[in-house]
Amino acid sequence: MTTRGIYFFSNDLRLHDNALLTQAADEVDELICLYIDDTLLPSTRYRPEPWSTKRQTFHEASLAALESQLANLGQMLWRYQARSLQQLNALISHLEINLAYVSKQVGWFEQQVLHQIANNAPQLSWKIGNNHTLWREEDLPFKLSDLPASFTEFRKKVEPLAIKSPLIKLNNLPKPMHVQSDKFSLSRQNQVSQSNELFIGGEQAGLTHLRQYFDSRAPSYYKTVRNELDGWGNSTKFSPWLANGCLSAKQILTELNNFERHHGANESTYWIYFELLWREYFQWYGHRHQQQLFTFTGIKKQSPLTSLYPERFAKWCQGQTPYPLVNACMKQLNQTGYMSNRGRQIVASCLVNELQIDWRYGARYFEQQLIDYDVASNWGNWQYLAGVGADPRGQRHFDLTKQTQLFDPKGKFIEKWQGQCDLPLDSVDGADWPC
């Protein structure tokens, strides 16, 4: 009997270190590779926000690169673009597929999509992988329900754990299943022009950047420059490829370990590992807390003293607040799809504390704009800063004058991104009367 499988690509757009795809290659005779365009599916409460052009371009390029790699192995990448899952269920039935493979999802919306598929295709046997984390859930030294309440406690528990080496690139895949694409709303990925982009999407581009970074001396002084607001070499810049699954955390850690063996370990190289653990913590934080990742009261179930002021929020998004450093950071985000970690903390603190706006609006705007958007890291970090998440200190409030003095004392960053603005914060009062 022929064993047929379907592989749902999601947060794992790569062939290197893809244990789940390797498993599929070993277990099935025929395989269809599919990516679901979830932005076309019906709206729900936790549906992802529409993407900015920058984020869309990077992601489309990552899909195009994946399709090219699959084609080299005789496979193809199909995209499902219907507005419901009905035709996908018909496809699974038509092809008599028995096995389904998918990487574990943090996003609540993405989980519900998969649950719908499973409910309508009970003949499928599901294989769930951990393609986005350093460890599998069963490797953790605690039950997921007992996830430590703070990062520090988590770090102390997991640092002694061994990490398996990343898998090499797949060289063989099962033969593809041929389908009538127009009958099932399937399409193929077109090539995407990225000639003017700062970040180039796709696995090969990510691997090239990974090699170039660790071939340089930058890891040895990373900690001293990581808070800079601008500059390509002042942070690792792995996050866009990591968020889209073009690189795995294990690949980065392996290269880091190789660098330390050849050039020595120091506080800066440790800090790269430290920040990979921060990411790891938020992945499991998202799996642990599910819908609470998106709720106003967060995991602490306490309401911040904030609301929505539409004019203030619009000015924050556009970089037109009374705070030049915040404006510069937001304009950088809008133009590039990227912002430094320090910049993200500064603008988030401003939204919550100075502008007194519900933190979820900021999280959703980041979801739209960031090319390195990661559901767990984004929403977990926003909760952390708003005082409803994993921060034991409670709400974080950054002194914007001090932050400007520390990280842009000569005003060069503000000048570059045109952060000065003479507009008042409010032109109407709480009842929408002109001020």
pLDDT in tens, 188-235: 876 677 667 889 999 999 999 999 999 999 999 999 999 999 999 999
Model pLDDT, residue 48: 64
β-sheet bridge partners, residue 103: 129
Query: Which whole number is the average pLDDT over 141-154?
Result: 96
Average pLDDT over the chain reads: 92
- Domain identity same for 368 and 268: no
Q: Which pLDDT band holds residue 433 (cuts at 50, 70, 90)?
A: low
Establish if 270 belongs to a structural domain: yes
| R_g of the chain computed on alpha carbons | 22
1-52: per-residue pLDDT in tens? 789 999 999 999 999 999 999 999 999 999 999 999 876 665 556 566 789 9
Among 131, 148, 182, the domain boundary falls at 131
Last-in-domain residue among 105, 131, 157: 131
What range defines the domain where residue 45 resides? 1-131
pTM: 0.94
Residue 41 lies in a domain: yes
Q: Angle 381-241-369 (CA atoms, 0-180°, nearest 5)?
A: 55
pLDDT at 40: 63
- State percent of the chain over pLDDT 90: 81
| Inside any domain, residue 24 | yes
**Is residue 422 very low, low, confident or very high in pLDDT (cuts 50, 70, 90)?**
confident
Mean per-residue pLDDT, 280-300: 95
Do the domain assignments include residue 298? no
Strand partners, 428: 434
Mean local confidence (pLDDT), 400-405 = 96
Of 244-248, 302-306, 426-430, where does mean pLDDT reach its minimum?
426-430
Do residues 32 and 177 lie in contact, with contact meaning Cβ atoms separated by under 8 Å? yes
Res 429 pLDDT > 70: no
Q: Are residues 250 and 326 in the same domain?
A: no
Considering its fold, how many domains does the chain have in total? 3
Is pLDDT above 60 for 90?
yes
Q: Is 199 exposed, middle or buried (0-12, 13-18, 19+ CB in 10 A)?
A: buried
Residue 262: φ, ψ to 5° = -90, -30
